[in-house]
Amino acid sequence: MFIDKVGLFVKSGNGGNGCCAFRREKFVPRGGPSGGTGGKGGDIIIQADRHLKTLLDFQYHHHFRAQKGEHGKGSRQTGKNGDDLILKVPLGTLIKEKEKILADLIKDQQFLLVAKGGKGGRGNASFATATNQAPRYVEEGEKAEEKRLTLELKLIADAGLIGYPNSGKSTLLSRVSKARPKIADYPFTTLEPILGVVQLKEERSFILADIPGLIEGAHKGVGLGDEFLRHIERTRVLIHLVDLSEPEPEKRYFRLRRELELYSPLLLEKPEILAATKMDLPKSRENLKDFRKKVKIKVIPISAVTGEGIKDLTEKTWKEI
């Protein structure tokens, strides 16, 4: 299961209270104050980890609390600090609080301290003065911070495959990489983004993302389109697949371009590679010439079944990246 958005409640640890104590030693009838300071409460830290791919660990566990600091002790002993709590997330995770972006974790081991543990309160030994050599008051530990956060994962890929459902994205990904998405002859086979590594000659490679099929109204959330569009925002290149075996394929192309613009005009500024798919079918051959005239940009005809145009497409993608 691909989990890409979760809500969290986090609370750091309270600081430990200061201690009120006095020295009690043989031959020291009036020992001075000896209460120690409380320990610091644990912090909560969110850290990126390149080995993680989804937010699945947070699907059922939404509340996190760090350890409290221990109270101070006599003999000026400071209480033990509470342990920090580190939450690991995949690269590409946005941390938000009330829609405000706090951090965008895109590098391995990059982290953000989201809730700081409370300071320990001072013990009575800290309050002794020349005029008050036996203070009996102490500080309470500082209270913990608590926050409600949203974690939102945006996949980090070099290129993203976009197109209507059943346009051949999954078949292409399985052809050019070792990824094995579910493939069937009906729309919405791919229900979650899938990443594959495309290996080229001379030790060149890039990461390709198969984004679930988009339909009209995707920018408003139709067919979960807004959830899927989020993942192509980070890609450097968009590979737009159009099934030429369908009637009037140019209309599908322009409709999807419009959906991208309505979601975020910045998506149209990304380099685009247009690939005409299913060229192993006679109808696709018939439509190719007219399609090229109407879209007025370079079209790479491909067939994931026969392998036609695959090398041209991957090399073109590498150049754009």
| CATH number of the domain encompassing residue 96 | 2.70.210.12
304 is in an annotated binding site: yes
189 is in an annotated binding site: yes
Residues 184 and 312 in one domain: yes
Residue 186 in contact with residue 166, Cβ under 8 Å? yes
In whole angstroms, give the CA distance from residue 82 to residue 108: 26
284 is in an annotated binding site: no
In whole angstroms, give the CA distance from residue 69 to residue 16: 5
41 is in an annotated binding site: no
With 50 as the cut, is the pLDDT of residue 45 above it?
yes
Residues 133 and 164 in one domain: no
The predicted model scores a pTM of 0.68
Residues 168 and 118 in one domain: no
Structural domain span for residue 163: 159-320
Of 153, 177, 202, which marks where a domain is finished? 153
Tokens of 161: 């495959």
With 70 as the cut, is the pLDDT of residue 142 above it?
yes
Residues 23 and 73 in one domain: yes
280 is in an annotated binding site: yes
In whole angstroms, give the CA distance from residue 67 to residue 63: 13
119 is in an annotated binding site: no
Residues 96 and 202 in one domain: no
In whole angstroms, give the CA distance from residue 94 to residue 204: 29
Q: How does the average pLDDT of the chain come out, rounded?
A: 86
Tokens of 42: 């644990």
210 is in an annotated binding site: yes
177 is in an annotated binding site: no
User: How are strands ordered across the β-sheet holding 159-162?
Assistant: 194-199, 205-210, 159-162, 237-243, 272-277, 299-301
pLDDT of res. 228: 62
243 is in an annotated binding site: no
Question: Total domain count for the chain?
Answer: 2
213 is in an annotated binding site: yes
Radius of gyration for the chain, computed over Cα atoms and rounded to the nearest angstrom: 29
With 70 as the cut, is the pLDDT of residue 58 above it?
yes
Q: pLDDT-based confidence at 303, cuts 50/70/90? A: very high
pLDDT of res. 72: 97
Averaged pLDDT, 144-168: 88
Residues 106 and 206 in one domain: no
Q: pLDDT-based confidence at 1, cuts 50/70/90? A: very low
pLDDT of res. 179: 65
Residues 306 and 254 in one domain: yes
In whole angstroms, give the CA distance from residue 60 to residue 57: 7
126 is in an annotated binding site: no
With 50 as the cut, is the pLDDT of residue 225 above it?
no
303 is in an annotated binding site: yes
The CATH number of whichever domain residue 184 belongs to comes to 3.40.50.300
262 is in an annotated binding site: no
163 is in an annotated binding site: yes
Averaged pLDDT, 306-314: 94
Of 108, 126, 153, which marks where a domain is finished? 153
With pLDDT > 90 as the criterion, what percentage of the chain qualifies?
57
pLDDT of res. 223: 39
Of 135, 153, 171, which marks where a domain is finished? 153
With 60 as the cut, is the pLDDT of residue 185 above it?
no
Residue identified by tokens 């543990």 is 117
168 is in an annotated binding site: yes
Residues 140 and 270 in one domain: no
Segment among 49-63, 118-132, 274-288 with least mean pLDDT: 49-63
